[in-house]
Amino acid sequence: MCREVPLSFPHVSHRRIELEGIVNTAAIYSVVPRRIHEELGIRPVKRSKVQGIRGYVERGLGEVGIELMGRRRTITVIFGETDDTTLLGVTALESFNLEVDPVRRTLKEAELLMLTYQL
């Protein structure tokens, strides 16, 4: 499922880029391609080994502000390389309290769950 998402630098809301990516509920983090994070001037806060389709690779991790369905959040993203696919991962969906509607191929409000254990 493809979805267009405005991206911005978390602390500078006037710097925005419209980006289309794939919603992937199997991906934990979202992936932003190199040209986008370079254009926004966003630098990774650390580098980590991440598992990709072709095995493990090292990528930068950082935060980026996104707007989705009229709401803004700051999410953790993997800073992709030039040939990495742009993804909106499950942690971003959870931050927005959204889930995929597989029948309509859209995003929808998720049911909030508070699963606690009482002693």
Q: What is the DSSP letter of 35?
A: H
Residues 33-42: b if buried by 16+ CB within 10 A, e if exposed: beebbeebeb
| Ranges of residues in the chain whose predicted pLDDT is under 50 | none
Q: How many domains does the chain have?
A: 1
Distance CA 56, CA 15 (A): 32
pLDDT in tens, 38-51: 888 888 999 999 99
Assigned domain for 17 exists:
yes
Whole-number pLDDT of residue 31: 93
Whole-number pLDDT of residue 47: 95
Assigned domain for 119 exists:
no
Whole-number pLDDT of residue 5: 61
Whole-number pLDDT of residue 78: 95
CATH classification of the domain holding 47: 2.40.70.10
Assigned domain for 114 exists:
no
Q: Which amino acid is at 57?
A: V
Under a CB-based contact definition with an 8 Å cutoff, are residues 9 and 41 in contact?
Answer: yes
Assigned domain for 117 exists:
no
Assigned domain for 118 exists:
no
Assigned domain for 92 exists:
yes
Q: Which domain range does residue 66 map to?
A: 2-109
Whole-number pLDDT of residue 19: 80
Whole-number pLDDT of residue 1: 62
Assigned domain for 16 exists:
yes
E strand or H helix at 39 = helix 34-40
